[in-house]
Amino acid sequence: MLAYSGTVGDVFKALADPTRRVIMDELVLRDGQTLFELCARLMNVHGSQSSRQAVSQHLAVLEDAGLIATHRAGRTKIHTLNTEPLRSITERWPLDR
């Protein structure tokens, strides 16, 4: 796990930003979204003022931390949630002791 942590960006830093947490919330509600859909949901559901470029940068941070993955559907880039890196938190500080 330590070795794994060394290869990805900081999960804690990625989770520290409220917009990035909302992006993860929206992917829980509907996994597999385009940048356009995520921007629309942030604006319509959360009243976010984030620019498309800012959302794109947030997605890059989340992807670097392993919290989202991307794939192509045709020529369109799709973002999916990956909560696996969160496991390292409860492995480090167990819920049941």
Partner 1 sequence: MKARLQVTSVFVDDQAKALAFYTEKLGFIKKTDVPAGEYRWLTVVGADDPNGVELLLEPDEHPAAKAFTRALVEDGIPMTSFRVDDVNAAYRELEAEGVVFTQPPMPMGPMIGAVLDDTCGNLIMIVSPAPEPD
Binding site for partner 1 (CB under 8 A): 33-37, 40-41, 44, 52, 56, 73-78
What CA dihedral angle connects 93, 79, 28 and 38, to 10 degrees?
120
Least Å distance between CB 40 and partner 1? 6
- Closest to partner 1 by CB, 34 vs 83, is 34
Whole-number minimum distance, CB 75 to partner 1, in Å? 5
Which residues are registered as beta bridge partners of 77? 72
Yes or no: say if 11 and 67 are a contact pair by the CB < 8 Å rule. yes
For residue 31, the minimal CB distance to partner 1 (Å) is: 12
Cα 1 → chain centroid = 20
